[in-house]
Homo-oligomer: A and B are copies of this chain.
């Protein structure tokens, strides 16, 4: 019997290849042929899973953000501090730097394309709703002030995270992890009154 590869799993494997290729050569150089070669399959197999390069890129963006969202939700379940959860998003490793690279590349796609616009909105809205939950938990644990509004706070949290990531991405050597953590801590304190628990 042939090995049955799950359809969704196969799509995720192809998305991982796309993420890596975009990281290596930029979105401007991506071809379906390169994707097929790297995924060790034919272009017709790639076309079986994705009807166009556009769909492939949108799926990749979604796969990468879902992975980051999963990390945040895991942190929530494990009772991690807000500071520590957000640190897991910042570009401090090859994996997270590649994630941010994928997002920037995707944000440079054509805004006139409706499916691109939908995925942009879904991405920022999904992230926002997770940040609301993180801020609610931080309020309950005492890490955030009791009077913090998680809804307006989550927007500021997004500004701080995305803003730090844009700087790091353009000057990776200038931003070792400790510098990122320290700026995050300062800015979360100033904008949201977040004080991480001692020892974190």
By a beta-carbon cutoff of 8 Å, the part of chain A in contact with chain B is 22-30, 53, 57, 101-102, 104-113, 116, 120-121, 123-125, 155-156, 158-164, 166-167, 169-172, 174, 183, 186-187, 190-191
CB distance from A152 to the nearest CB of B (A): 9
Q: Which one of B27, B174, B183 contacts A159 once the chains associate, using CB atoms below 8 Å?
A: B183
A102 to B104, CA, bound (A): 11
A169 to B28, CA, bound (A): 20
Chain B residue at smallest Cβ distance from A159: B163
Tally of this chain's copies: 2
A94 to B53, CA, bound (A): 27
Chain B residue at smallest Cβ distance from A116: B26
CB distance from A69 to the nearest CB of B (A): 15
Main secondary structure of the interface of A (DSSP, over half): helix
Residues A170 and B23 in contact, CB atoms below 8 Å apart: no
A-B contact pairs, 26 of them (CB 8 A): A23-B110, A26-B27, A27-B27, A27-B108, A28-B30, A101-B107, A105-B107, A106-B108, A107-B169, A108-B108, A120-B169, A120-B170, A120-B171, A121-B174, A124-B167, A124-B171, A155-B183, A156-B187, A158-B163, A158-B167, A159-B159, A159-B160, A161-B163, A162-B162, A162-B166, A163-B163
Known: A101-B111, A110-B26. A159 touches B171 (CB 8 A): no
CB distance from A7 to the nearest CB of B (A): 25
A120 to B173, CA, bound (A): 12
CB distance from A84 to the nearest CB of B (A): 19
